[in-house]
Copies of this chain bind each other. A is one copy, B any other.
Amino acid sequence: MSKDEVFVSADGIRSFIKDVLLKVKVNNDVAGYVAEGLVQTSLRGVDSHGIRLFPHYLEGVKKGRINPVPNYEFKRTSPSSGILNADHTFGHAAGMEAAKKAVEIANEAGTGHVAVYNSSHFGAAAYYALEIAKHDMIGMSFTNTDALIRTYAGKGAFLGNNPFCAVVPLEDGEPFCLDMATSIITFNKVKQHRENNFPLPDKVAAGIDGCETTNAGEATMLLPIGKYKGYGLSMFIEILCSLLTGMPYGPHIPKMFEAPMTDKRYLGHFIIAMRIDCFQNKGEFKKRMSIMVDEIRNAPVMDEDVPIQVPGDPEKAIAKKRGRTGIPIDEKLLKEFINFCKDYNINFPYES
């Protein structure tokens, strides 16, 4: 943590983001979903996908990439499925609309599947699957991303490090939450190492020639987990999010940071909700879930100082802490936020 960071409460940042979005004519529902998604993500410690992306998104609204007032078109295509045209709005709003539709469908049909097209950056996949799990369902969310992982046996990137998330309710407290991309590390980590002039670990990234490199300044691609396995997993997620949605795939997806901010992204997402009570008594299921995760947490550890955790545990711990301390904002981001406050005549929710 840098001494130049300040800490602002989740409520304060949520109001600030929503207020700014309303000023640039984003509709109320969309603004609410974006503010909540970014704040939830930063609270949970997933800083790469949290409030630090807000300036990027705001520029997207201003320049035309993101539609602030979408006309969604939803079509129910079978008892258990539907497709959502997100009309190029924020991925946060598109994903949350789709998650709510998937829950509605699952309530009727046992499971619900929604393919989302004409969307924009998804943010953290966990936001949508966590919503589904509130309804005693297993939630799954998938998105494509632009080309980033080195193709197995190839020298270039074709597929993104397509993330997916699976959330499962426990008897007490926050759910099991596996939110992972198919690369070993994130590109955000590469950028951090680049800024700090730190070398990368071995076998996690490659340069423009496709060769592995530990030089963060030269790294342009990421390596997938488990070699051909992570590459195959990325391709399956691409199929759900690009082929099943009718959206472009891999190298044809406009790049998040490199494409002009006037260009729409044409991203696709896929959302699944599965009612637990279609398979087991839900009380019994959640009880067994809690017993299983406790059993694994209490298994013998390799190092007394490093506890065994289950997916979601690190984020729960950070969320608890940041619920007290507030969310850290670094100097650069703070300046941007304060400028937005000036631009839009809003009070910044931090008193120095």
Q: Does A300 lie at the interface of the complex (its beta carbon under 8 Å from any beta carbon of B)? A: yes
How many residues does chain A have at the interface if contact means C-beta atoms less than 8 Å apart?
69
- Residues of A with Cβ closer than 8 Å to B? 77-81, 83, 108-111, 113, 115, 138, 151-156, 158-159, 166, 168, 176, 178, 180, 184, 210, 225-226, 228-230, 232-233, 235-236, 238-239, 242-246, 249-250, 274-276, 278-280, 285, 288-289, 292, 295-296, 299-303, 306-311
Bound CA–CA A289/B306 (angstroms): 44
Residues of B contacting A245 in the complex (Cβ-Cβ under 8 angstroms): 279-280
Neighbour of A113 across the interface among B225, B233, B274, B310, CB < 8 A: B274
Bound CA–CA A154/B307 (angstroms): 8
Bound CA–CA A113/B152 (angstroms): 32
Decide: A111 and B80 in contact? CB cutoff 8 A: yes
Residues of B contacting A310 in the complex (Cβ-Cβ under 8 angstroms): 232, 235
Residues of B contacting A138 in the complex (Cβ-Cβ under 8 angstroms): 239, 244
Decide: A285 and B243 in contact? CB cutoff 8 A: yes
Neighbour of A232 across the interface among B178, B226, B243, CB < 8 A: B178
Residues of B contacting A80 in the complex (Cβ-Cβ under 8 angstroms): 79-80, 109-111, 278
Bound CA–CA A302/B227 (angstroms): 14
A264 to B: closest C-beta gap in Å: 20
Decide: B226 and A300 in contact? CB cutoff 8 A: no
The 7 closest A-B pairs by CB, nearest first: A78-B110, A225-B226, A80-B80, A232-B311, A81-B278, A81-B110, A178-B232
A288 to B: closest C-beta gap in Å: 6
A283 to B: closest C-beta gap in Å: 13
Decide: B243 and A289 in contact? CB cutoff 8 A: yes
